[in-house]
Amino acid sequence: MKAHSERLPSAEVQDCFRRLRAHMPGRVERAKGPKGEADPFRALVACMLSAQSRDANTRLAADALFRLADTPQATLALDEAVIARAIRPCGLYNAKARNILRMAAALLDRHGGAVPTTRDGLTALPGVGRKCADIMLSFVYDRPVIAVDTHVFRVANRLGLTRAPTADCTADELAARAPRWALRDGHFWLIQFGKAVCHARAPECPTCFLADLCLWRRAN
């Protein structure tokens, strides 16, 4: 299959998002933070644990850790080895344990224990990257941000909404090219579309409601 090297024009970007809004579920009132956590600290920890981890394993790791500690102060009272053992199901547990302790210390040192509410404040924390920060902004703080995970990165670049080499660049292009009204729910529409229709290995192009707009489909 050939890749494409173009971007959809603005009018077709608008059309894509209108169709996504019509066909895909958006944010629901019960939407909470990452892995169902409404509390900002717990949500941030869960987001950090989710890196390169399946949802079920992330949930196991988060539940085990939160039984031991679920505040910055309580977390800092734990040994790194204890945290690593608790979060073992999510993989990369040694590095994640170290980053969780460093993040908790930074919250107490710089923010009085509160989780920042800006992208710059979040990404300044140890172990917190752009994707995690944007997920926090979208899910926890209800900001109009399209967080870019694996599904959103694939779908946005395959359709031609963006043409970007990295997730961070994709996030920047979506922020610039998506219509303002789509920013709040765009992450939800794109991720559900990626899971239900635009699969990584076998996208359901023949029945896809965006097939006539998709640049990847046109190229193949």
Task: Please pick, among 149, 172, 185, 212, the residue that the annotation labels catalytic.
Answer: 149
User: Where a domain ends, among 140, 157, 178?
Assistant: 140
Within a domain: residue 54?
yes
Task: Output the CA torsion 214→215→219→220 (10° steps).
Answer: -30
If one counts the domains in the chain, the total is 2
Confidence (pLDDT) at 29: 54
Residue type, 206: P
- Is 2 catalytic? The answer is no
Same domain membership, residue 114 and residue 158: no
Q: Which domain holds residue 151?
A: 10-26+145-219
Same domain membership, residue 108 and residue 50: yes
Which run of H or of E encompasses 86? helix 80-86
Nearest to 5 by CA among 218, 169, 179, 148: 218
Confidence (pLDDT) at 175: 96
User: How many Cα atoms occupy the beta-carbon half-sphere of 131 within 13 Å?
Assistant: 19
Q: Which CATH number belongs to the domain containing residue 95 in this structure?
A: 1.10.340.30
Confidence (pLDDT) at 3: 55
Instruction: Classify 87 as helix, strand or coil.
Output: coil
Confidence (pLDDT) at 216: 94
Within a domain: residue 4?
no
Confidence (pLDDT) at 28: 59
Confidence (pLDDT) at 25: 85
Same domain membership, residue 82 and residue 40: yes
Confidence (pLDDT) at 204: 96
Same domain membership, residue 20 and residue 95: no
- Is 149 catalytic? The answer is yes
CB-based contact 104:40 (threshold 8 Å) = no
Residues of the chain with pLDDT under 50: 1
How buried is residue 200: exposed, middle or buried, by Cβ count under 10 Å (0-12/13-18/19+)? Answer: exposed
Within a domain: residue 203?
yes
Confidence (pLDDT) at 210: 97
Task: Please pick, among 35, 131, 134, 185, the residue that the annotation labels catalytic.
Answer: 131
